Amino acid sequence: MNEPISVFFPAYNDAPSLPRLIARTFSVLKTCTSDFEVIVINDGSFDDTGSVLARLQREFGSRLRVITHPENRGYGAALRSGFAAATKDLVFYTDGDGQYDVGELPKLLKLMAPDVALVNGYKLERNDPRHRIWIGNTYNRFARFLFRVKLRDIDCDFRLIRREVLEALNLTSTSGTICVELVRGIELTGCRIREVGVRHYPRLHGRSQFFRVRSLLNTLHQLIRLWLRLVILSNGSAPQVKLRSIEASSSMAAHGEQ
């Protein structure tokens, strides 16, 4: 696997975790491919995230890009900015808080084949306070049932996606519901999806934005609107995607047989 890859991180008040995360990302990517870029979406952080990223840009140069939202727009908006900014064939993202180990990215790359649109992680064990584990598990089961999603862990933000599939989706969510919208959209394309277990670590810095009452209410509201659009009003319509990687692989195989 040596396909070009864009890696990005949505970040909101993640100044303490970013230096180690970015350094480890560059170290891992250099063993995977020669063509990569790293992007951080600073989603209106009010801590030292901006100054930390400026220092990291000086350290890592042009391969590290920073996109700054002047105000906090929400998790979904941060992901949409990352997807729009990515320029490589494969797009990987995980959160900027360090609860996932970017060192496990090669596990996803090994499962990415020409006919695969998404390789998604699933948490082997969730390392969060008990009430957050309960809320997270309840949300995951509810969303999977409501949207008829087959993927086992919608809430695991450790994903490797083909950019051509992302370009076929019309993502609109600004909250955490974007994960449901993203996964549901990819499943509807009929493209192949693979899953692999990844480790989840305790949050060492800051606090999650998802588990605040206001965020949960906003997520529930967007989830209902999303359900109406994707399940009730969609009439079974799905984005049409024909992976160019399959065509390229078939062409190379045919050329090799001549």
pLDDT in tens, 103-138: 999 999 999 999 999 999 999 988 777 887 888 888
The whole-chain average pLDDT of the chain stands at 87
Higher pLDDT, 134 or 252: 134
Pairwise CA distance, residues 146 & 163, whole Å:
26
Bridge pairing between strands 158-162 and 5-11: unpaired
Model confidence, pTM: 0.86
Task: Report the distance separating Cα 144 and Cα 116, nearest Å.
Answer: 21
Q: What is the pLDDT of residues 153-195, one digit of tens each?
A: 998 999 999 999 999 998 999 888 899 999 999 998 989 999 9
- Which residues share a beta bridge with 157? none
> DSSP code of 34?
S
Are the beta carbons of 40 and 8 closer than 8 angstroms? yes
Residue ranges covered by each domain of the chain: 5-257
φ and ψ at residue 236, rounded to 5 degrees: 75, 5
Paired strand residues for 196: 121
In sequence order, which residues have a C-beta less than 8 Å from that of residue 1 and are 6 or more positions away?
32, 33, 109, 110, 112
Tens digit of each residue's pLDDT (9 = 90 or more) over 18-48: 999 999 999 999 999 999 999 999 999 999 9
CA 246 to chain centre: 23
CATH class of 5-257: alpha beta
Q: Angle of helix 213-227 relative to helix 130-147, nearest 10 degrees?
A: 10
State the DSSP string of 183-226: HHHHHHHT-EEEEEEE-B----SS--STTSHHHHHHHHHHHHHH
